[in-house]
């Protein structure tokens, strides 16, 4: 069974819920406009189940309704994890054997982005979702540059620290800032380093498409819900691979 439909009240009834804001003052007309939009998007019938003024000139809506579209799960393209998940102990052992020195990670939020909670979840010792962050790993040296790091600053620090991997977080996606900043960052590293010496480039954030690594010029993209263990395992997989199995 690879063909599925959304589920609301009964299996396969096609019911979905959608939220959005229109630049229209809260009114009956605004609600009608919301239904019209939902209809044009293929929801029929569509019911406004929540509407709330967002200041005097905008309205936020939640619309519930039926779509007729089918989804074929056999045609879905995703990035599956193609490396084993290791424990901190296994990561440390692999780095020690494979690199014979600590693996250096430089991380931060670039551009004007000040959302540090995500990168801290990965790097800080306290970690995320019950897992310790990369600072906890004895064989990893972590340099967390924090928020609003410029690309030149990041490149300079990566060089100074002899970084093996550079971890960048981008949470703000307004006007595709996350994509533009990531492309700028990866181009700067390609210019600053000979290909074989360039550090591994990793970006993460809640609204990245994980299939876009190649397009963005980075080695891996991590999306929402990423845990530090996944990142540490990936770093070892790419930087000390042969030794993982040893
Ligand atoms: C907390 C927060 C803030 C705090 C940030 C505090 C801080 N020190 O980080 C403050 C109040 C400062 C803030 C400010 C702003 N914010 Co804000 N903020 C949020 C909020 C509520 C939560 C973000 C968060 O902490 N998530 C928790 C972490 C753990 O999740 P995460 O970031 O997704 O990280 C995980 C993964 O994505 C991944 N990951 C992330 N980074 C990386 C990096 C690597 C290398 C890897 C491997 C993985 C990885 O791993 C993490 C763990 O799983 C979100 C809304 C939301 N609910 O998400 C809005 C939100 C991100 N903010 C938003 C906005 C608009 C702003 C402001 C512009 C508001 C304003 N007008 O001033 C400013 C911008 C400031 C700036 N210069 O960046 C918008 C962004 C919209 C958009 N399309 O870009 C959001 C989505 C709210 C909204 N719905 O409008 N914000």
Question: Alpha-carbon distance 82 to 165, whole Å?
Answer: 18
Peptide bond into 45 cis (omega under 30): yes
For residues 31 and 103, membership in a common domain is answered with: no
pLDDT score at 1? 83
For residues 174 and 55, membership in a common domain is answered with: no
Question: Using a 6 Å cutoff on CB, does residue 206 contact ligand 1?
Answer: yes
* 132 given a catalytic annotation: no
Average pLDDT along the chain, 246 residues, taken 10 residues at a time: 94 97 98 98 98 98 97 94 96 95 98 98 97 98 98 98 98 97 98 97 97 97 98 96 51
Question: Using a 6 Å cutoff on CB, does residue 174 contact ligand 1?
Answer: yes
- The residue out of 73, 106, 129 marking a domain boundary is 73
Domain containing residue 63: 3-73
Query: In testing the pocket of ligand 1, which one of 114, 115, 179 has its CB within 8 Å of the most ligand atoms?
Result: 115
Question: Using a 6 Å cutoff on CB, does residue 128 contact ligand 1?
Answer: yes
Q: 105 pairs with which residues across the strands?
A: 142, 165
- The residue out of 73, 100, 122 marking a domain boundary is 73
CA 206 to ligand 1 center in whole angstroms: 8
Q: Which atom of ligand 1 is nearest to the CA of 202?
A: 45
Largest CA distance in the chain: 69
For residues 96 and 18, membership in a common domain is answered with: no
For residues 39 and 149, membership in a common domain is answered with: no
- Does 83 map to a domain? no
Question: Using a 6 Å cutoff on CB, does residue 123 contact ligand 1?
Answer: no
Residue nearest to atom 36 of ligand 1 (CA): 224
CB 202 within 8 A of CB 54: no
Indicate which residue of 40, 52, 126, 162 is catalytic: 126
Q: SS3 for 13?
A: coil
Could you tell me the CATH number of the domain that includes residue 116? 3.40.50.280
For residues 203 and 171, membership in a common domain is answered with: yes
Its sign, for the CA torsion 86, 234, 135, 100, is: positive
Could you tell me the CATH number of the domain that includes residue 30? 3.30.30.60
CA 172 to ligand 1 center in whole angstroms: 7
Question: Using a 6 Å cutoff on CB, does residue 122 contact ligand 1?
Answer: yes
Distance of CA 186 to the CA centre of its chain: 16
CA 46 to ligand 1 center in whole angstroms: 31
> Total domain count for the chain?
2
Question: Alpha-carbon distance 66 to 15, whole Å?
Answer: 4
Question: Using a 6 Å cutoff on CB, does residue 177 contact ligand 1?
Answer: no
Question: Alpha-carbon distance 142 to 134, whole Å?
Answer: 7
Hey, what are 78's tokens? 């995703």
For residues 171 and 221, membership in a common domain is answered with: yes
């Amino acid at each position: 069974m690879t063909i599925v439909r959304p589920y609301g009240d009964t299996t396969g009834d096609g019911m979905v819920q959608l939220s959005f804001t229109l630049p229209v003052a809260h009114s009956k007309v605004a609600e009608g406009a919301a239904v019209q939009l939902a209809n044009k998007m293929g929801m029929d019938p569509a019911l406004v189940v929540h509407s709330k003024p967002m200041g005097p000139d905008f309205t936020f809506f939640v619309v519930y309704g039926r779509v007729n579209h089918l989804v074929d799960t056999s045609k879905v393209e995703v990035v599956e994890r193609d490396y084993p998940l290791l424990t901190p102990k296994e990561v440390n052992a692999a780095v020690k054997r494979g690199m014979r020195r600590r693996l250096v990670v430089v991380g931060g939020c670039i551009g004007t982005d000040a959302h540090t909670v995500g990168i801290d979840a990965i790097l800080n010792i306290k970690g995320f979702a019950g897992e310790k962050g990369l600072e906890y790993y004895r064989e990893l040296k972590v340099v967390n540059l924090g928020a609003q790091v410029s690309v030149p600053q990041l490149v300079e620090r990566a060089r100074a620290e002899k970084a093996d991997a550079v971890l960048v977080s981008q949470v703000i996606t307004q006007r595709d800032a996350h994509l533009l900043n990531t492309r700028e960052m990866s181009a700067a590293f390609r210019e600053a380093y000979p290909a074989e010496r360039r550090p591994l480039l990793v970006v993460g954030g809640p609204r990245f498409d994980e299939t876009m690594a190649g397009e963005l010029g980075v080695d891996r993209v991590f999306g929402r819900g990423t845990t530090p263990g996944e990142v540490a395992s990936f770093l070892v997989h790419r930087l000390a691979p042969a030794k993982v199995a040893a």
